Amino acid sequence: MATATVPQIPARTTRAQIDDFLAQKRIAMVGLSRHPQDFTRHIMREFVRRGYEVIPVHPHTKVLAGHVCYAKVQDIRPAVLAALLVTRPEVSEQVVRDCAEAGIQQVWLHRGGGAGAVSEGAVKFCREHGMSVIAGECPMMFLDPPAFIHRVHGLVNKVMGKYPK
């Protein structure tokens, strides 16, 4: 009997993972704030401006920034293949479980400062289930071309040896 092989997920995020994620032009964004000036909404606006279809996921609202909003990633039809989490770390593990149930294989746990959406449990779950996980990083550094402040952030990470290769 043949056994399924689990893809090897790198211990550290690679630039190839980031490029593969950003190649998805239809993504779920989980944990968006209902406050228009919040940084998560800025990320959403920038993705939309660059031609992405962003599907907001928030359990307490039906419309967000003029977009239909879903309570869970499993509710999105047609399904998406990638999800950007801007959640609190304490809910990220449940969200990645939801992503796995929905068939989402690419997960980005946003981190601009502090813990961001990254939690050890969420990362471990993704890796154990063969999901590509970007554990940290701010996607704004990798959009082409990045805005000035995000270029600076990327440069600082390169100098410190933290930029994905």
Domain boundaries in the chain? 15-159
Of 14-23, 49-58, 146-155, the range with the lowest mean pLDDT is: 146-155
Q: Which residues contact 154 (CB under 8 A, 6 or more apart)?
A: 141, 142, 146, 163
Provide the CB-side half-sphere exposure for 66 (13 A, CA): 4
Task: Give the percent of the chain with pLDDT over 70.
Answer: 92
For the entire predicted model, the pTM comes to: 0.88
What is the fold, at CATH topology level, of the domain defined by 15-159? Rossmann fold (3.40.50)
At 126 the pLDDT is: 96
pLDDT above 90 (res 115): no
Residue 94 predicted with pLDDT over 70? yes
Query: Angle 89-102/120-128 helices, nearest 10 degrees?
Result: 20
Tell me which DSSP letter residue 70 carries.
B
